[in-house]
Structure 1
Amino acid sequence: MTLLEIIILAIIQGITEFLPISSSAHLLLPAELLGWVSQGLAFDVAVHVGSLLAVMIYLRKDIIEMTHGFFVHGFSRNQTEQSRLAWSVVIATVPIIIIGFLLKDWIEVNARTALVMAVTTIGFGLLLWYADATAKLQTKLQGMRFSHALIIGCAQILALIPGTSRSGITMTASLMLGFDRESAARFSFLLSIPAILGAGLLSTVDLLQQAEPVDWTALFYGATFSFVSAYLCIYLFLSWISRIGMLPFVIYRLCLGAILLWFVFV
């Protein structure tokens, strides 16, 4: 890849990983529009590392408090707010681990198409609009129950379908459960940590089974630009989401879905 391709793809990954607009659909567009080849497994791992570092550094206070609460109170009857939140992340992550392990290969072969991405981008975009328009926006993150976490975790399974958007479907589920927009986004970002870590580990395992040469310069730039774009994305999204709502992202998804449909049928 050229330096320009590295920068553009890394920025796309960093931004779309956390916005409710589908990273897989966006990474398909450069190949369709510009004829770029696949970035390869090593680059995929690098940009995931950049995104993971960004969300962990931004949410470092929450992570430290949750980790402390989990190990101190997580196995006692006297659960704290932070230990319950840590358990909620664990509970919400289990469903996608199980289903992802069972269906990963089938999805890669049968569902990673422009048509599937177009349909899911539009369909789940409309569902996000409905959830946001009808949301009560009353429950804070501190009110997260284990039943809420399980429902959100089951919804996250849908993110295995390309074009759905992991952040989009988890925010949609949270809004439908009555959480306010910032709490829905923050829990989605917390859930992204094990999700990105798992995806990165799977890509690393696949990478180790190949004998391709590694371009360390490309990986460094990929991780760096992914980190910077992801960090700025998280900061701006959490700062603005309570005011602007989800409608701008819904409109964007509808436009993106229309473009993907154009590629399919034209």
Structure 2
Amino acid sequence: MGVGEALLLGLVQGLTEFLPISSSAHLAIVGTLIGADDPGAAFTAIIQLGTEAAVVLFFRKDIARIVSHWVRSLTGALPRDDPDARMGWLVIAGTIPIGVLGLLFQDQIESTLRGFLVIGTTLWLFALILGWADRRGRKERTLDRLTWKHGLLFGAAQSLALIPGVSRSGGTITMGLLLGYTREAATRFSFLLAVPAVLLSGFYQLYDELTNGTAVPWGPTIVATVVSFVVGYVVIAWLMRYISTHSYTPFVVYRLVLAVVVYGLVLAGALPALTTGAFG
């Protein structure tokens, strides 16, 4: 994979990570079509560090306050039921499902589940679920009403993103809407919940590559990570403004159209139906 391909994949990652359209699906599709010799799940996890750095920067005040209050609640400087300290615990609890499932099914995630028939199916299936949730959800709960049960359900939804095509943000936002949270609340918690999961996954893959292999092309990967950070920050700022007055319908339609395109490319032989490699 060259620098040009890395620039394109970094752009794709930055544009799609925070929208409910699945960045892993887009990386797989684009990577295969341009013939990128990419390490797949490891590359995806590492360049996600760039987009997650954008989340940390954008929500830096919220994150700093949550972490500070959580630590102070451990020492008794703040009560355990402090809202921000409680949010810290809820983020930790919501991270457990994806961590456990990611370790248990790592081999399948990096091989079988990256097939394009799987991607096409998850694209349209979860598009319909997101559309239904956006229409039927009450959209009245705010994050100060987030419960332990709901935090775990958000986490369970996030774990579905281990399957390309589901979308990390799409899964958690859908769950939030189904539970009655406003679009803003569901999206904000989706971003906060992703921070530890993505950082842990990215650094785990980084450590694994440094100690056990050289599969990742480091120069292009660093380029892609930087590009994904810059573009991702712009997308976050846009999305938080957009959802305050708009529905998720355009993303639902986009997913349905993309699913049809993926199936068409599989039938045409441009994308493999099944894959045991990175991007095909």
**Range class of TM-score, shorter chain:** over 0.9
For residues 216 and 15 of structure 2, what CA distance do their matches in structure 1 show?
Answer: 28
The 3 A distance-change label for structure 1 pair 40 and 133 is closer
CA distance in 2, matches of 1:179, 1:87: 19
Give the C-alpha shift of residue 3 in structure 1. 3.3
Instruction: Give the residue type in structure 2 aligned to 1:210.
Output: G
1:14/1:47 contact within 8 Å kept = no
> C-alpha displacement at 1:157, in angstroms?
2.0
Aligned runs of 1:143-182 on 2, under 5 Å? 143-182=145-184
Residues 58-108 of structure 1 deviation map (CA, whole Å, 9 limit, x = unaligned): 110011110111112257664111111111101111111112111111232
Unaligned runs of 5+ residues in structure 1 are none
Rounded to whole Å, the distance in 1 between the matches of 2:222 and 2:106 is 28
1:39, distance to aligned residue in structure 2 (A): 5.7
**When the two structures are superposed, what TM-score results if normalisation uses the length of structure 2?**
0.88
What secondary structure, in the 3-state scheme, does the structure 2 residue paired with 1:262 have?
A: helix
- Post-superposition shift, 1:45? 5.7
Give 2:16's aligned residue.
Answer: 16
Note the alpha carbon deviations across 1:104-160, whole angstroms, 9 max, x for none: 112323211000000001100110000000011101112111111011111222111
More helix by share: 1
Structure 2: segments with no counterpart, 5+ residues:
269-280
Amino acid of the residue matched to residue 179 of structure 2?
Answer: L
Q: What is the aligned length?
A: 265
- What is the distance in 2 between the residues matched to 1:124 and 1:45? 22
Of the three residues 197, 200, 209, the one matched with 1:198 is 200
Is the 1:44–1:203 Cα contact (8 Å) retained in structure 2?
no
Alignment partner of 1:210 is 2:213: yes
* Deviation readout 1:208-245 (Å, 9 max, x if unpaired): 211468553x3442222111111001110011112121
Identify the residue that residue 27 of structure 1 maps to in structure 2.
27
Matches within 5 A, 1:86-105: 86-105=88-107
Q: Which consecutive aligned stretches of 4+ in structure 1 deviate over 3 angstroms post-superposition? A: 39-46, 74-78, 211-216
Partner of 1:64: 64
Partners of 1:41 and 1:24 in 2: CA distance: 8
Query: Residues 42, 118 of structure 1: CA spacing in aligned structure 2 closer, same or farther, 3 A cutoff?
Result: closer
Q: Which amino acid aligns with 2:131?
A: W
SS in 1 for 2:110: helix
Three-state SS of the structure 1 residue aligned to 2:180 is coil
Aligned to 2:110: 108
Q: Contact between 1:137 and 1:175, CA under 8 Å: does it hold in 2?
A: yes
Contact 1:153 1:170 in 2 (8 A): yes
Cα deviation, residue 258, structure 1: 0.8
SS in 2 for 1:243: coil
- Measure the CA separation in 1 of the matches of 2:207 and 2:166: 25
Residue among 124, 127, 131 paired with 1:125: 127
Q: Distance in 2 between matches of 1:139 and 1:170?
A: 15
The residue aligned with 1:237 is 239
Distance 1:22 1:127 in 2: 14
Q: Which amino acid aligns with 2:167?
A: S
Output the TM-score relative to the length of structure 1: 0.92
**Structure 1 segment 244-259 matched on structure 2, within 5 A:** 244-259=246-261
